[in-house]
Amino acid sequence: MSENGVTARRSKVLTIDTMNATVKKVEYAVRGPIVQRAVQIEKELKEGAKKPFTEVIKANIGDAHAMGQQPITFFRQVLALCSYPELLKDGNFPEDAKHRARRILQGCGGESIGAYSGSQGIECIRQDVARYIERRDGGVPCDPDNVFLSTGASDGIVTMLKLLVAGEGRSRTGIMISIPQYPLYSAALAELGAVQVNYYLDEEKCWGLDISELQRSLEAARQHCNPRALCIINPGNPTGQVQSRQCIEDVIRFAAKEDLFLMADEVYQDNVYADGCQFHSFKKVLFEMGPEYSNTVELASFHSTSKCYMGECGFRGGYMEVINLDPEVKEQLSKLVSVRLCPPVPGQALMGLVVNPPQPGEPSYTTFMKERTGVLSTLAEKAKLTEQILNTVPGIACNPVQGAMYSFPRITLPERAVKEAKEKGQAPDMLYCMKLLEETGICLVPGSGFGQRDGTYHFRMTILPPVDKLQILLSKLKEFHQRFTQQYS
């Protein structure tokens, strides 16, 4: 063999210079440098390193169970029964849990959750989703054929965006997203090579959405791309606002007038805490506006098992409902989802339970309601606590956390800190959050990871830590902010 020297001759096929350039542009702050450093610090602590703190408190990601929230008993009982159907003979499991498990198993090939399901999801679960939507929306009809189960909401959102992206140059698809935004959107748009069209939420008006700002953003975008869709997150991540019915109606009217496809990210639909606030689904409002709108405006709405009161992120369950989708496009959507075979069946099962929980009179009802209410009222308490304490700190201004799981307070940073960050090529709130992590063990995400108006600085903090830890976190944060401000003044 005369192949000596292969080693010397050969460089890598795949390098940073020869890889997919659009992938390189993707950014994802929720799991960015701060989180990587936090993981490292945790390791250092384990190995006995001395730090001014003994544990890292993660308030960077909406991951309820990781923060100690307990799963809903009924859901987990049914999942255990589906996983190991021998347990259907076990007298310790309530009858309603067994009934749900049998129903799910009957919807599976070979009555096993180990079989691939239809790509759109298990039929009986899609039916349950449809009935849930009808109940939620006061009877507005929902066709199970319009429901696509997904691998978390993330999957549904990316799939829908993928269908929308077309054209080149000035006719390239633009997608309007709120700033601050949940970075899945910017990451997906970068990967798909779509144009990100920013519209700003109004911090002065509790992160409200203003139609004139939508109009400004749209008109500016039309100069250089073809804006085709408008994404809304309600209740909001990272900003925690809950939109009024009037606002939703205005947005729908705007989308109709401007020929925009609506994408409503409603994964926090049960997470509403503030007095006077209420969740209104885009679909319900659309149908209340009459056939002129309900027969024409194209809408995709997304839900997930990851948030609300269940917080079951690891199962990667979710669904999307499509309304007024062109039938040919729907066929293409069905084909596209079939390539990945199917969403995870345990996640489908869980989504099925979320939309069809224990009913009054069933043996698990009381416990279920107690657990559900417990989680939601604790979240409401923590939302209030967070807002109140943060607003006692000079240089921190926090809007009410009306819903979702986050506060997004504005922080005033001394000029010297801003200068130092710029010299380091860092966003000023990244410098702030990194210092906070190193000095206190608190892990937040800088506002720059979500987008914000130039010259303003924020961080996103989840309200998920248990109340006692949250209190510690908030008082450490307060101390840190004062120290940081002094140090740089």
Residues of this chain that bind ligand PLP (CB under 6 A) = 62, 152-154, 182, 184, 233, 237, 265, 267, 304, 306, 313, 318, 341
C-alpha span between 263 and 282 (Å, rounded) = 9
By the rule CB under 8 A, 266 interacts with its own copies: no
480: exposed, middle or buried (Cβ count in 10 Å: 0-12, 13-18, 19+): middle
C-alpha span between 460 and 240 (Å, rounded) = 10
Nearer to ligand PLP, 318 or 400 (CB): 318
By the rule CB under 8 A, 447 interacts with its own copies: no
- Helices within 289-427 (DSSP H only): 291-294, 327-339, 345-355, 365-390, 415-423
By the rule CB under 8 A, 46 interacts with its own copies: no
18: exposed, middle or buried (Cβ count in 10 Å: 0-12, 13-18, 19+): exposed
By the rule CB under 8 A, 155 interacts with its own copies: yes
Q: Judge whether 417 and 428 are in contact, CB under 8 Å.
A: yes
Nearer to ligand PLP, 301 or 306 (CB): 306
Closest approach of Cβ 10 to its own copies, in Å? 5
- The footprint of its own copies on residues 101-120 (CB under 8 A) is 108-110, 112-119
Nearer to its own copies, 191 or 439 (CB): 191
Q: Which does 153 bind (CB under 5 to 8 A by kind): its own copies, ligand PLP, none?
A: ligand PLP
Closest approach of Cβ 407 to ligand PLP, in Å? 14
Backbone angles phi, psi at 264, to 5 degrees: -110, 110
Closest approach of Cβ 236 to ligand PLP, in Å? 8
- The footprint of its own copies on residues 280-299 (CB under 8 A) is 291-293, 295-296, 298
- The footprint of its own copies on residues 83-102 (CB under 8 A) is 83-84, 87, 90, 92
**Within a 10 A sphere around the Cβ of 16, how many other Cβ atoms?**
7
Q: Which does 487 bind (CB under 5 to 8 A by kind): its own copies, ligand PLP, none?
A: none
Per DSSP, the residues of 71-138 read PPHHHHHHHHHHH-GGGGG-TTS-HHHHHHHHHHHHTSGGG-TTS---TT--HHHHHHHHHHHHHHTT
By the rule CB under 8 A, 467 interacts with its own copies: no
**Within a 10 A sphere around the Cβ of 462, how many other Cβ atoms?**
25
Residue 225: which of 298, 182, 177, 165 has the closest Cα? Answer: 165
Nearer to its own copies, 66 or 434 (CB): 66
Nearer to ligand PLP, 217 or 462 (CB): 462
Nearer to ligand PLP, 117 or 127 (CB): 117
Nearer to its own copies, 317 or 409 (CB): 317
First to last CA, the chain: 70
By the rule CB under 8 A, 164 interacts with its own copies: yes
How large is the C-alpha radius of gyration of the chain? 24
Which residue has 């940081």 as its token pair?
484
Closest approach of Cβ 228 to its own copies, in Å? 6
Q: Which range in 130-138, 181-189, 265-273, 417-425 contacts its own copies by CB under 8 A?
A: 181-189
Which residue has 């992206």 as its token pair?
165
Q: Closest-CB residue for ligand PLP? A: 152
Nearer to its own copies, 51 or 172 (CB): 172
Closest approach of Cβ 361 to its own copies, in Å? 23
Residue 107: which of 351, 335, 363 has the closest Cα? Answer: 351
CA diameter of the chain: 80
Q: Which does 84 bind (CB under 5 to 8 A by kind): its own copies, ligand PLP, none?
A: its own copies
Which position among 176, 221, 325, 431 is part of the footprint of its own copies (CB under 8 A)?
A: 325
By the rule CB under 8 A, 12 interacts with its own copies: yes
Which residue has 């997203």 as its token pair?
177
Closest approach of Cβ 208 to ligand PLP, in Å? 17
Mapping DSSP to helix (H, G, I), strand (E, B) and coil, where does residue 162 land?
A: helix
Closest approach of Cβ 150 to its own copies, in Å? 11
Residue 364 C-beta-side C-alpha neighbours within 13 Å: 23
Closest approach of Cβ 409 to ligand PLP, in Å? 18
